[in-house]
Amino acid sequence: DTGVSQDPRHKITKRGQNVTFRCDPISEHNRLYWYRQTLGQGPEFLTYFQNEAQLEKSRLLSDRFSAERPKGSFSTLEIQRTEQGDSAMYLCASSFQVLSYNEQFFGPGTRLTVL
Amino acid sequence: TQLLEQSPQFLSIQEGENLTVYCNSSSVFSSLQWYRQEPGEGPVLLVTVVTGGEVKKLKRLTFQFGDARKDSSLHITAAQPGDTGLYLCAGAGEYGNKLVFGAGTILRVKS
């Protein structure tokens, strides 16, 4: 039984560099979500996909952020020209959207540190 | 904008004590989920409540959804050191898309 996986688990980068994170959802799940969590806060929604379509993006997702889910399976989140304020835990979650409610299962996260 | 307020922010208790964590909002949610998160890890789903007034039990944990589906509580009986962690409530809107999270309650159970 494989859950949601994320790679890498930790990333340290210098300000101005680009970084890319990968998320592999639970295999039968059609929805995939990205959240960001900073210290002392709950996760904040960034964007979500249903299959390969990106259906909603938060205002938190600036132009430097882009997410893709090209074949409706894994997803990538890229941050261009990183800033120190981008330092956070980036969480991916997946769900199977046939129920009237939405149980999301989270991966272990990618901890980004921008120096 | 939907907001969830959790209280208390921090709780430090002795093993064997009972505790309750609250999650409140002025908004109605179609469902509400409780998660537990360890440092450096992602949140782990504990329970989902859907119906107003619903009560669910998970061993020593009791979850309740308010009648109006605006608030929820988590009660832990006879807390153990293994219960230590960050407890997060999260609400889903009408279409059940994104989750709105509270800021969390840090629970520390001392032996």
Subunit contact B40:A109, Cβ cutoff 8 A: yes
Question: For residue B44, what are its two tokens?
Answer: 């782990």
From the list B4, B48, B98, the residue facing A103 with the nearest CB is B48
Rounded CA-CA distance A1/B44 in Å is 15
* Three-class DSSP category at A108: coil
Subunit contact B98:A4, Cβ cutoff 8 A: no
pLDDT of residue A60: 82
Contact yes or no for A4/A92 (Cβ under 8 A): yes
Contact B96/A at CB under 8 A: yes
pLDDT of residue B65: 96
Subunit contact A91:B48, Cβ cutoff 8 A: no
pLDDT confidence of A100, banded at 50, 70, 90? Answer: low
pLDDT for residue B97 is more than 90:
no
Rounded CA-CA distance B13/B54 in Å is 27
Q: Which chain B residue shows the shortest CA-CA distance from A47?
A: B98
Question: For residue B69, what are its two tokens?
Answer: 């589906």
Other CB atoms within 10 A of residue B59 CB = 7
From the list A42, A108, A109, the residue facing B102 with the nearest CB is A42
Contact A56/B at CB under 8 A: yes
Subunit contact B50:A101, Cβ cutoff 8 A: yes
Q: Which chain B residue shows the shortest CA-CA distance from A101?
A: B96
pLDDT confidence of A45, banded at 50, 70, 90? Answer: very high
Cβ neighbours of residue A66 closer than 8 Å, sequence gap 6 or more: A77, A78, A80
Closest CA to B20 of B32, B2, B34, B4: B34
Rounded CA-CA distance A96/A104 in Å is 8
Range of B75's domain? 5-110
Rounded CA-CA distance A17/A5 in Å is 24
Other CB atoms within 10 A of residue A38 CB = 12
Rounded CA-CA distance A91/B79 in Å is 28
Q: Give the total number of structural domains in chain B.
A: 1
pLDDT for residue B105 is more than 90:
yes
* Minimum mean pLDDT range among A52-56, B1-5, B82-86: B1-5
From the list B4, B31, B102, the residue facing A102 with the nearest CB is B31
Subunit contact B98:A41, Cβ cutoff 8 A: no
pLDDT of residue A89: 98
pLDDT confidence of A61, banded at 50, 70, 90? Answer: confident
Chain A nearest CA to B14, separation (Å): 23
**A to B CB pairs, distance under 8 Å:** 72
* Three-class DSSP category at B7: strand
**CATH number of the domain to which B54 belongs:** 2.60.40.10
